[in-house]
Structure 1
């Protein structure tokens, strides 16, 4: 979620807004430090700090603060077990701030930094009861006494080659998740009229060039309408060091492709790294939405661990559709 964009929108459209941040965590808690949610004056909100009694209580406090008008920030110290009856058992400090139209000028640079993509850091300190945020770095300055916050979205790049049924389902499945999707097809009429905000549809003219220009760390999904095209894209992807190269298909398709990869001189280690069939083991349903859900979980595992754990590789089943 783009916190600052959402907050500026609430202030512009509704006159004010509150920002709730998990400021500090000790022990077990529903969310990590830096988790945030933005609250409207009528109580509507975006984001989460973990749900449960903690979130309900912080929303009540934020609404009370908004009702009282723009004022000083508040830090709420909560022991999750004794105070709220939550089983996590840890302790959290929650920072709650209110904003109105007087803050729009200060919010502007944060909104712009967020829109550029990626992560950015700001330095924070309390001034007259409110949080002041600055981009200028005070790293190494012993006179600086405050804290640092990280904002923005670290989206993992995903290239999806093919806009068929599974490709469409996968793009929708990835829509709310921390991925930046480049969706490629060589047909003019392949893409739907509306796309998720994190997806870009690209008419593909040179698939091997797309692979060559992909950022290191990109995740590659090959599922075009044409097996020779799949072959060319998969071979190009395996020549690079991507953490995930997935090919839709069956064990038979994989065997045929492996034979051709060896003829092309690809190393056995590279060939073994190909994920085909794609998706989690034990899921045999070939419905595009089911395949997409299974692949999405697999991509999240790769994003978390930096590679695909070999014991998570799919069995010799088929997801040809």
Structure 2
């Protein structure tokens, strides 16, 4: 979670003035966590702070807002008739192109009322600059502090067929994934690609593997079994954090044999996950995409990633 500066910049470019509403603090139960935010403009909005009535009223107030910055507190039960029973503090800030250009590239700290920067905030900023410790989003001593959002996981999707398109549609909105999408030619991709997805047409996709970070994750699902095999071979030689291959048990048995013939050990080959997703959901592209997304995002998978990062 963090301050999505790029999404704000794009919204301001398209819509002019945009009000960003962020959950600054919570007490008790809340529909979303501190740092959850939405962008609101005349005639539309994006993102969510959750809560149904809370979000509706906050969006209406944001469109009518005249002040540059406004802090408001909401008791979810008594005020809004919601079941959470807690209370949230919202910070609503109006941005234009000039304001966006002045945002810090790493940590955004600003007062919600007049006053000098307190020592507690100075310490958080010093830790971010000198030790690389990203602060949690928080309202502290009259200041709102948020790290600038940057995806922590690099996901490479190899193949822009039906399943590749479904995967991108399902996974592109997820905040912690930076997606690179590869296929053999520009016309393999749809005319409209979700924001933030890097499209890479390459006549020889396997040649790109040598340039991919070794801690990236991969989903291999091209139109060609030969290309799938070559990608698996290159990935095993290069290194990866996770690699999933679409296919049946029969396809995987053949691939294991061929990868072994190329010199890879059973332990190395076993690092590739095949098949991917949840076969019980069916073979419709969207069903496959939902199963694959759940597979790589489930808590056990997250724990594995944390262990890898701390090793």
**TM-score, normalised by the number of residues in structure 2:** 0.75
What is the correspondence of 1:125-140 to structure 2 with a 5 Å cutoff?
Answer: 125-126=111-112, 128=114, 138-139=125-126
Q: Give per-residue Cα distances to partners, 1:100-128, cap 9 Å, x unaligned.
A: xxx64232233x94xxxxxx312222454
- 1:293 aligns to 2:290 (yes or no): yes
Question: Which residue is equivalent to 1:318?
Answer: none
Which of residues 157, 170, 173 in structure 1 aligns to 2:170? Answer: 173
Seen in structure 2, the aligned counterparts of structure 1 residues 227 and 59 have a Cα distance that, compared at 3 Å, is closer
Task: State the Cα deviation string for residues 284-317 of structure 1 (Å, max 9, x = none).
Answer: x222232223223333337971548xxxxxxxxx
Q: Secondary structure at the match of 1:34?
A: coil
Which 4+ runs in 1 deviate beyond 6 A?
A: none
Output the CA distance in 1 between the equivalents of 2:257 and 2:56: 58
Deviations 1:203-249 (A, max 9, x none): 33444442222124322111223223211211222345433211111
Gaps of 5+ in 1: 114-119, 309-321
Pick aligned residue for 2:101 from 99, 105, 108: 108
3-state SS, counterpart of residue 294 of structure 1: helix
Contact 2:151 2:178 in 1 (8 A): no
> For 1:33, what is the secondary structure of its paired residue?
coil
Aligned to 1:49: 49
Give the match for residue 88 of structure 2. Answer: 92
Q: How does 1:199-210 map to 2 (within 5 A)?
A: 199-210=197-208
Match of 2:8 among 4, 16, 19: 4
Which residue in the other structure is 2:155 paired with? 158
> How many residue pairs were aligned?
284
C-alpha displacement of 1:251: 0.4
CA distance in 2, matches of 1:263, 1:294: 31
Question: Could you list the per-position Cα deviations for residues 237-282 of structure 1 after superposition, in whole angstroms to 9, with x for gaps in the alignment?
Answer: 2345433211111001111112233334434343333221111252
The answer for the alignment partner of 1:36 in structure 2 is 37
Asked if structure 2 preserves the Cα contact closer than 8 Å seen for 1:7 and 1:19, the reply is no
Please tell me whether the aligned partners of residues 162 and 224 of structure 1 are also in contact (alpha carbons under 8 angstroms). yes
Unaligned runs of 5+ in 2: 130-140, 306-311
* Match status 1:20 vs 2:21: yes
Q: Which residue of 2 is the match for residue 81 of structure 1?
A: 77
Give the direction of change, closer, same or farther, for the CA distance of 1:167–1:62 in structure 2 (3 Å limit): closer
C-alpha change, 1:167 and 1:92, in structure 2 (3 Å) is same
Q: Conserved in 2, the CA contact under 8 Å of 1:185 and 1:203? A: yes
Aligned counterparts of 2:24 and 2:61: Cα–Cα separation in 1:
16
**Residue 255 to residue 55, structure 1, CA distance change in 2 (3 Å):** same
User: Secondary structure of 1:74's match?
Assistant: strand
Distance 1:35 1:104 in 2: 22
CA contact (8 A) 1:243 1:306 kept: no
Alignment partners' CA distance in 2, 1:176 and 1:292: 13
Structure 1 residues 204 and 255: alpha-carbon distance in aligned structure 2, compared to 1, 3 A threshold: same
Q: How far apart, CA to CA, are the structure 2 residues paired with 1:7 and 1:185?
A: 29
In 2, the alpha carbon distance for the partners of 1:11 and 1:226 equals 42
Residues 183, 70 of structure 1: CA spacing in aligned structure 2 closer, same or farther, 3 A cutoff? same
8 Å contact 2:158–2:181 — kept in the other structure?
yes
Q: Give secondary structure in 1 for the equivalent of 2:200.
A: strand
Residues 19 and 39, structure 1, Cα contact 8 Å, conserved in 2:
yes
Q: Normalization by structure 1: what TM-score?
A: 0.73
Alpha-carbon shift at residue 150 of structure 1 (Å): 1.9
